[in-house]
Amino acid sequence: MFQAPKGTYDVLPRDAERRGILKSHVQRIFGGAGYRRIETPAFESTELFARGVGASTDIVQKEMYSFDDGGGRSMTLRPEGTAPICRAYIEHGMHKLPLPVKFWYLGSFFRAEQPQKGRYRQFWQVGAEAIGAAAPETDAEIIVLLAELLDAMGVKGTRLRLASLGTPETRVEYRDELTGYLHAHESELSDEVRARIDLNPMRAFDSSDRGTQAVMANAPKLLDRLAPDDAEHFDQVKRLLDVAGIRYELDPALVRGLDYYTRTLFEFSSDALGAQSGVGGGGRYDRLIEQLGGQPTPGIGFAAGIERILLAGAEQPIAPDPVDLLVVVADREDRTAAVAGFELAREARQAGLAAQLELTGRSLKSALKHADRINARYVAIVNDQKSATLKEMDSGEQHDLKATGVIATILRGSRLA
């Protein structure tokens, strides 16, 4: 027997409902703020991600599905959407459009990770990007809209962590300072942290070791080292979030696995999720478009995992699809009656009714049971080419009609006078 590949899953019709609801919230919330849908290809040149996401990131080093396209070019199933959208922005000369250019997207992405609850190899993201605006209001807008989306989906127990990374230059200087500080306190650190001082000094902030935590309480913080205009930008983002009533925690050690970030960085998590608690996050990427060969252009965006939104979100009451009419042909051996039934269902749909034709050859009795199960309002039993019996399921009333009168009778109202 075949099974879905490890780390992948099927979206069955019953699961598709909540995804549809999510999409309509995205359209309403982001569409209402001037974001328009964009979709980029499922694969791109490997070089785009190496340059965009960063050659030394886990994503690029370990998690990409890369393959030769048959012509000697290396392609990669997209692990994320920001680099592709910036590629599309440059390719289509969108800097000529009124700025900022605002996009939302919803699609599947691929990372070769160890699967667990909330972590898949093919997963879905909803995201948005605002390109061409540096104003802190843009940052706050993105965060507010994402908060609204999570709220609309009933995502429980959310927590927003916020930081600013400043510029890459500030970061290099800060990293040197932090590394020096850690070396000066080596004897008080856990073995694990000590071994990684030069490799990844930021990890020390996440340590659960008491001694390390004591050292880190007095460690220099990047937020205190920001250049004045970066610090001012961040202050305004915080002020706007305060005014919007969005609660956040400043996290000096917030790290996200992508290299393109500058300035604002944020992540929503939910304690309704297990180990994979990150629901969605993002940040500013003011150097990315230039790195990909475009004009210097600021940008900010987010992506959220749809599986995680659905796991942490509220069950929503899902109304079954309405069925106005089930057409049953009394004697399917009668070819002309079968044609009349087929036509009746088709014409009913053209008239705007949700109409289905009984397709399995059930007996009349079990067709009526089936009509009950699918909640059909009416059943039309096609007796022959010309005549039908229309039964209203709620009242049980039934009438013999000309086949041509069935649709008009249903449209006229529910009572079969």
Residues engaged in binding ligand HAM (CB under 6 A) = 80-82, 111, 113, 118-120, 123, 125, 127, 129, 256-258, 278-283, 285, 301-305, 307-308
353, two tokens = 């009714």
Give the shortest CB-293-to-ligand HAM separation in angstroms.
19
Kindly tell me which of 125 and 207 has the beta carbon lying closer to ligand HAM.
125
Neighbours of 160 (CB within 10 A): 20
Kindly tell me which of 61 and 350 has the beta carbon lying closer to ligand HAM.
61
Q: Which sign, positive or negative, has the C-alpha torsion 273, 80, 25, 233?
A: positive
Q: Which sign, positive or negative, has the C-alpha torsion 90, 96, 100, 106?
A: negative
Kindly tell me which of 241 and 390 has the beta carbon lying closer to ligand HAM.
241
Kindly tell me which of 16 and 214 has the beta carbon lying closer to ligand HAM.
16
Give the shortest CB-309-to-ligand HAM separation in angstroms.
8
Kindly tell me which of 166 and 305 has the beta carbon lying closer to ligand HAM.
305
Give the shortest CB-303-to-ligand HAM separation in angstroms.
4
Neighbours of 298 (CB within 10 A): 22
Kindly tell me which of 9 and 342 has the beta carbon lying closer to ligand HAM.
9
Kindly tell me which of 230 and 324 has the beta carbon lying closer to ligand HAM.
230
Kindly tell me which of 291 and 385 has the beta carbon lying closer to ligand HAM.
291
Distance CA 417, CA 412 (A): 11
Q: Which sign, positive or negative, has the C-alpha torsion 359, 362, 366, 368?
A: positive
- Buried b / exposed e across 208-218, counting CB within 10 Å, b at 16+? ebeebeebbee
Distance CA 130, CA 152 (A): 21
* Strand partners for 308: none
- Helix ranges (DSSP H) in 271-332: 288-291, 306-312
Kindly tell me which of 174 and 302 has the beta carbon lying closer to ligand HAM.
302
Q: Residue for token digits 């305060």? A: 242
Strand 158-164 and strand 262-270: the pairing is antiparallel
Tally of residues, the chain: 417
- Residues in Cβ contact with 153 at an 8 Å cutoff, skipping those fewer than 6 apart: 21, 22, 25, 309, 310, 313, 314
106, two tokens = 């919803």
Give the shortest CB-227-to-ligand HAM separation in angstroms.
21
Kindly tell me which of 121 and 377 has the beta carbon lying closer to ligand HAM.
121
Give the shortest CB-21-to-ligand HAM separation in angstroms.
18
Give the shortest CB-3-to-ligand HAM separation in angstroms.
19
Distance CA 396, CA 76 (A): 59
Strand 122-131 and strand 101-110: the pairing is antiparallel
Furthest-apart CA atoms within the chain: distance in Å: 95
Give the shortest CB-63-to-ligand HAM separation in angstroms.
8
Give the shortest CB-110-to-ligand HAM separation in angstroms.
9
Kindly tell me which of 57 and 207 has the beta carbon lying closer to ligand HAM.
57
Give the shortest CB-109-to-ligand HAM separation in angstroms.
7
Q: What stretch of H or E contains 242?
A: helix 228-243
- Helix ranges (DSSP H) in 244-276: none
Give the shortest CB-391-to-ligand HAM separation in angstroms.
48
Single-letter amino acid, residue 372: D
Which residue is closest to ligand HAM by CB? 305
CB 323 within 8 A of CB 375: yes
Give the shortest CB-20-to-ligand HAM separation in angstroms.
19
